Structure 1
Amino acid sequence: MRNLLYSLMLFTVSLLTAQTATTEQIISDLPELEITEGINLHMISPEPIQYVDLSTNKLTGDLPASNIARIKITDSPISEKDKKKQSTSFFSGDTVGIITVVGQSFISQYKAVYRSPDNLNTITNIHIQPEVMQPIEFDRMVFSNSELRKFALDIIQNKTDKKPVRTENNLNLSMQLNNVYVMGDYIFLDMTFKNTSNLSYDLEALKFSIEDKKIHKATNNQSIEMTPVFRLNSQKHFRKNLRNIYVFKKFTYPNSKVMMIRLIEEQLSGRTIEMKVNYSDILKADTF
């Protein structure tokens, strides 16, 4: 019996390893990227970049945006008269390093190959393609931005006649919580904002916080600000309607508190509308 249990355990470990193992990479099989002095290579990722590794000090770079890695050949502190000698430090076709880019759900590696500045076909930017992405198996409750976007788009495209969870009206504005969804450890708020006035609305902020349901004194109010981990779009202006999806990591709060949602206009004396969401509304979240 003990041997049988041990064999089953080994089989389970082997099966899990087979499901999560990443294919081995050999340097000679890596796709090549051409790079030369004085030209930045921009690598554009479909999701936020978590980490970039440059295997040699011949390369340097930074992250000017969350999904863009900027790479170049390291500048040498040499005088003007020695610049000619620098061009002979590399020969066309030389490997100057390995570039590794790690996203939220993948790892991609490239071999950086030197090309002469005389080569007018040197690449200046690339989009990291699916065929060079190796999946990374993180905790499945952690979704990448690409996955969250897909879920959010599924919600937007799913037309329903279901009555909104909450609706607030003020100053010819309407704030509507259409529905609450849950996927793994994430909560999705489907919201619509309507403007029935002739003045367009310039959104300064949409703020989420957990606050006391009953406030006896202003100084006693404990407010905890909440920031979405993802929002489907970042639109700041709308004339009549705006629908968006806001995603949060799973949270809880007691019945003595509410989630406060505030829509704030950009102007100094702008229109503001508030909505209180009870925890019971969150507990009724749908799955999809």
Structure 2
Amino acid sequence: MKSILYTLLLFAITVNAQTATKEQIISELPEIEITEGINLHIISPEPIQYVDLSTAQLTGDLPTTNIARIKITDEQKSDEKVKKVNHSAFLDRDKIGIITVMGQSFIAQYKAVYRNSENLNTVTNIHIQAEAMQPIEFDKMIFSNLELRKFAVDIIQKKSENNPIRQEKDFNLSFQLNNVYVISDYIFLDMTFKNNSNLSYDIEALKFSIEDKKIHKATNNQSIEMMPLFQLNPQKHFKKNFRNIYVFKKFTYPNSKVMMIRLIEEQLSGRTIEMKVNYSDILKADTF
């Protein structure tokens, strides 16, 4: 256990030590080819925060959080100055533009070069490779979704479902908190849902909130909803068993309050089950 934690901390320190982004010059940028009338999809291993296209010859959008879609600007949409020159001159092989993609923990830059549409080997998508990524320097240790996923997968591989910290049973359902883990400023909740009925379960919502332990009057109840930063599986349906990891930024709450977790079924006559988690359970969080 300690050796694993030491390895993770050493990795984090190494990453932080290498976050000074070196200077980049255009001639050293990796090239990607782009063709008129064909979209180029740049696929990132983590959510894209920002994309810059250095010239009007390129246009694009973000159809999903991990994909940047880029194409050569249509001739009729180029500005008036460009319209006065031949379109082939507009598509200067060496000056078509620089594409910059910024993820949560890296920046990647490419030099876009023109490829004739008659060539049948046109590339339509590329994955950002590790060698193209330059780490971004942060003031605090911040993990990207890709890193959080790696940690969550490590937790899933542990055999920790037999002795849960908390467990609730109702409607032939079993809802358990297997364990709580912490690394840096992140809290990982390892949870398992078991359905002992023959009726499959459609999840409408899994809600997390901080609430008063004792409610003297309904109007005095203060509920603060909490949203996970990341969850390993976005699954909304399960027949028998479903295990998932939910990640939160570090939080605290007094002994007079509890974390309330509610599993809510989709149908009108849905089966709802609740679990109360004391702060002492969070304080006993394990490392990994």
Superposition TM-score, scaled by structure 2 size: 0.87
Counterpart residue number, 1:238: 238
CA spacing shift, 1:78–1:228, aligned 2, 3 Å = closer
Q: Secondary structure at the match of 1:150?
A: helix
Q: Within 5 Å, which residues of 2 pair with 1:52-67?
A: 52-67=51-66
Q: Is the 8 A contact 1:58 1:97 kept in 2?
A: yes
Q: Which moved more, 1:245-254 or 1:138-147?
A: 138-147
CA spacing shift, 1:135–1:55, aligned 2, 3 Å = same
CA spacing shift, 1:106–1:168, aligned 2, 3 Å = same
Q: Alpha-carbon deviation of 1:237?
A: 1.0
Q: Which moved more, 1:138-147 or 1:273-282?
A: 138-147
Q: Within 5 Å, which residues of 2 pair with 1:1-288?
A: 19-77=18-76, 87-91=87-91, 93-160=93-160, 163-288=163-288
Q: Which moved more, 1:213-222 or 1:193-202?
A: 213-222
Bigger RCO (CA 8 Å, 6+ sep): 2
Q: For 2:126, give the aligned amino acid.
A: I
**Residue-pair matches, total:** 271
Q: Secondary structure at the match of 1:141?
A: coil
Q: For 2:154, give the aligned amino acid.
A: D
Gaps of 5+ in 1: 1-15
Q: Which moved more, 1:180-189 or 1:58-67?
A: 58-67
In 1, Cα distance between the equivalents of 2:129 and 2:19? 21
Q: CA RMSD in A?
A: 2.3
Q: Secondary structure at the match of 1:210?
A: strand
In 1, Cα distance between the equivalents of 2:47 and 2:185? 20
Q: Alpha-carbon deviation of 1:227?
A: 0.4
Q: For 2:273, give the aligned amino acid.
A: I
Q: Deviations over 1:172-203 (max 9, x none)?
A: 00110001111000000000000100111111
In 2, Cα distance between the equivalents of 1:117 and 1:171? 61
Q: Is the 8 A contact 1:90 1:114 kept in 2?
A: no
In 1, Cα distance between the equivalents of 2:16 and 2:247? 31
In 1, Cα distance between the equivalents of 2:86 and 2:267? 56
CA spacing shift, 1:145–1:267, aligned 2, 3 Å = same
In 1, Cα distance between the equivalents of 2:44 and 2:59? 18
Q: For 2:167, give the aligned amino acid.
A: T
Q: Deviations over 1:153-176 (max 9, x none)?
A: 111112247621100000000110
CA spacing shift, 1:73–1:48, aligned 2, 3 Å = same
Q: Alpha-carbon deviation of 1:23?
A: 2.9
Gaps of 5+ in 2: 1-14
Q: Which has the larger radius of gyration?
A: 1
Q: Is the 8 A contact 2:180 2:286 kept in 1?
A: yes
In 2, Cα distance between the equivalents of 1:200 and 1:160? 24
Identity %: 79
Counterpart residue number, 1:12: none
In 2, Cα distance between the equivalents of 1:171 and 1:161? 20
In 2, Cα distance between the equivalents of 1:75 and 1:217? 64
Q: Alpha-carbon deviation of 1:140?
A: 4.7
In 2, Cα distance between the equivalents of 1:244 and 1:284? 20
Q: Is the 8 A contact 1:259 1:279 kept in 2?
A: yes
Q: Deviations over 1:235-258 (max 9, x none)?
A: 111111100000000001111111
In 2, Cα distance between the equivalents of 1:158 and 1:86? 63
Q: For 1:210, give the aligned amino acid.
A: I
Q: Deviations over 1:201-224 (max 9, x none)?
A: 111111101111111222221111
